[in-house]
Amino acid sequence: MAQSEEREPYEEGCLSFPEITGNVVRPVEVTVRFQDVSGAKQEVGARGMLARCMQHEIDHLNGVLYIDRKSNVKRVALAGKLKRLKKQTELES
């Protein structure tokens, strides 16, 4: 994935962590190369919100969650919310 040097923060959320949001700094523009369902190589450029969404979803494919992009201090501040969310999820299972 090619990306612009220009970056900007934006408040993101994720279905993996309902009700938890926070600013994530990401490149404003990206170019993504991939193979489509028929195996043909494709390339798509995106800017703004589409670029951000693509990066967020590619992070998921790489095992990275948006909270992993936050500083250690911010993650510590979220620890209580994450524990409650984990407990709630375990109760629903």
Active-site residue set = 57
Q: What angle do CA 84, 58, 88 make, to 5 degrees?
A: 15
Give dist(CA 47, CA 93) in Å, integer: 39
What the block records as the tokens of 50 is 């589409």
Q: What angle do CA 46, 48, 50 make, to 5 degrees?
A: 55
